[in-house]
Amino acid sequence: MKYFITGSAGFIGFHLARVLLEQDHDVFGYDAMTPYYDVTLKQRRQEILERHERFGHVVAKLEDRSALERALTEFAPEVVVHLGAQAGVRYSLENPQAYFDSNLVGSWNLFDIVKDMGLKHLLIASSSSVYGANEKIPFEETDRADEPLTVYAATKKSMEVLAHSYSHLHNLPTTAFRFFTVYGPWGRPDMALFKFVSAILKDEEIELYGQGKVRRDFTYIDDLIEAILRLADVPPAEANRVTDGTVIDTLSRHAPFRAVNIGGGRPIDVEALVDAVERALGRKARTRLLPMQKGDVPQTFASPDLLQALTGFTPRVDVTDGVRAFVDWYRSYTQTG
Q: Are residues 137 and 49 in the same domain?
A: yes
- Tell me what pLDDT residue 108 has: 98
Q: Are residues 104 and 233 in the same domain?
A: yes
54-77: pLDDT as tens digits:
999 999 999 999 999 999 999 999
- Tell me what pLDDT residue 229 has: 98
Q: Is residue 307 situated within a structural domain?
A: no
Q: What total of structural domains would you count in the chain? A: 2
With 60 as the cut, is the pLDDT of residue 212 above it?
yes
85-124: pLDDT as tens digits:
998 877 887 899 999 999 999 999 999 999 999 999 999 9
Answering whether pTM is above 0.85, one says: yes
Nearest residue to 95 (alpha-carbon basis) of 152, 159, 52: 152
158-207: pLDDT as tens digits:
999 999 999 999 999 999 999 999 999 999 999 999 999 999 999 999 99
75-84: pLDDT as tens digits:
999 999 999 9
Give the whole-angstrom CA distance, residue 328 versus residue 13. Answer: 21
Percent of the chain exceeding pLDDT 70 equals 99
Q: Are residues 176 and 199 in the same domain?
A: no
Q: Are residues 150 and 190 in the same domain?
A: no
Q: Is residue 108 situated within a structural domain?
A: yes
CATH code for the domain in which residue 232 is found: 3.40.50.720
Q: Are residues 68 and 140 in the same domain?
A: yes
Q: Is residue 119 situated within a structural domain?
A: yes
Q: Are residues 104 and 146 in the same domain?
A: yes
Q: Are residues 188 and 321 in the same domain?
A: yes
Q: Are residues 223 and 296 in the same domain?
A: no
Q: Are residues 31 and 74 in the same domain?
A: yes
Q: Is residue 305 situated within a structural domain?
A: no
- Tell me what pLDDT residue 241 has: 97
Q: Taking every pair of C-alpha atoms in the chain, what is the biggest distance, in angstroms?
A: 56
Q: Are residues 93 and 203 in the same domain?
A: no
With 90 as the cut, is the pLDDT of residue 278 above it?
yes
- Catalytic residues, by residue number, are 152
Q: Are residues 23 and 39 in the same domain?
A: yes
With 90 as the cut, is the pLDDT of residue 20 above it?
yes
243-256: pLDDT as tens digits:
988 899 999 999 99
Mean pLDDT computed over every residue of the chain: 95
Q: Are residues 158 and 205 in the same domain?
A: no
- Tell me what pLDDT residue 336 has: 52
Domain span including residue 115? 2-182+219-262
125-153: pLDDT as tens digits:
999 999 998 889 999 999 999 999 999 99
Rg (CA), the chain: 19
